Chain A
Amino acid sequence: VGKRIALKDYIEIDHIDLSDFFSQIGFSSENEQVDVSGFNSTGVDEFLAGKNTASVSGTVFGAYGANETWAVLWPLHRDRTVFPIKWRVDSSAGVSATNPELRGNAQILSWSPGATRGSPDSFPVTFTPADSTGFYYSET
């Protein structure tokens, strides 16, 4: 497995395959940098990893048909629903060590669709972890 061009990503929201409505997706996981520096002869700072903040963000096309983005995503935000999400890089292959799948229970805390004349209707969406398990990679 070498470098890849992102084309076949699989994205499942609340068990629905919405892959072809996403043009971009990304996962962010950040451990807070906590300064625990004491006085020392080198003057070097010392840090520990603190709280973890994670999210999955993407760009979705606005589509208003049955089983499409509005019908799936808007009720999840409106009703403050907790739902499962999945993302793996190759939809044509099963989950494995070389095709790990990011999973987790998420919620959509903000909703901000928009449109620009002459451009595809698309808008950002962010999935925030909804439980202490957070987002994790599965290889099986």
Chain B
Amino acid sequence: VKVAGIYEVVGRRTYREHPPGAVFEAAMDARHEARALARGDIKKLASTTPALQPGSYTLPPGWTTKNEEVQNRG
């Protein structure tokens, strides 16, 4: 299970190559997050929901056919 959020490195050691005091956004395995929170490596500032915003991505040319596009529109 993946979880996502904004985290602050509160321990004295670098976490995922983010130095102490750094704030970073990440998606990670829920078990990894739980261990890091329990050890005091990081603090979770906020939960986030990863999402693609309209227009923020493009599909490779020819990746979909017209038929698939129609089906995806429902």
A: which residues have CB within 8 A of B? 12, 14-18, 65-68, 71-72, 75, 81, 83-84
Contacts and interface: CB of A to CB of B under 8 A. Distances in A.
Contacts of A71: 39
A15 B11 contact: no
Contacts of A83: 32, 35
Interface of B: 11-17, 31-32, 35-36, 39-41
A108 to B, nearest CB: 14
B-side binding surface: helix, strand, loop or mixed? loop
A71 B35 CA distance: 11
A133 B22 CA distance: 31
Given A15-B16, A17-B15, A67 B39 contact: yes
B36 A66 contact: no
B13 A16 contact: yes
